[in-house]
Amino acid sequence: MILHDIPKSSAYFYKSLLAEFKPNWNVEIIIGDYNLYKLGFVEEIPCSISLNVSREEIYELQEEILDMEVTIYSYEDILYKNPMDMTDDEKKTYKKLKELEKRYNKFESLENLFSYYLAINGKEI
C-alpha cells in the first residue's frame, strides 16, 4: 500500500507514529518530485509512504484507535467529575482514562490518515 502526496514533515511524523504503534510494520518514505519544491510549486517536498500491510491490518489499526475513543467517551462523566466527589474506584478509572486519552490523542491522526485514503481510493489501496 502506498499513500501518495504527503508533505515530507507529515510523512516522517506518520512514520514515527506507526513505528511506535505498530513496530512490526515496515514503513518506508519515498521522496517525490524534489523539483516541484525546488521550483517553488509546493511548500514541502512531496513524499509517499509505503506500507507492506494488508487492508485488514489497516482496519485493525483503525478499530484499535476507535476503541480507545469509545472507551474514553463511554466514561466521559468521570473525566468531568470533581475529584473531591470521586470514590477510590472512580479515581483509579479516571487515571486510566486520562492515560488512554493521552494515547488516543497521540494516535488519532493515524486513524484520520487511513480513513481519508480509504475513502478517496474506494477502499482499494
HEC assignment per residue over 52-75: CCCHHHHHHHHHHHHHHHHHHHHC
Q: Please list the residues that pair with 30 across neighbouring strands.
A: 48
Task: Place 125 in a pLDDT band, splitting at 50, 70 and 90.
Answer: very low
Residue 93: the pLDDT is: 92
CA 103 to chain CA centroid, Å, is 10
For 41-64, write each residue's pLDDT tens digit: 889 999 999 999 988 999 999 999
For 82-99, write each residue's pLDDT tens digit: 888 889 999 999 999 999
Domain ranges of the chain: 1-53, 55-125
Q: What is the pTM of this model?
A: 0.82
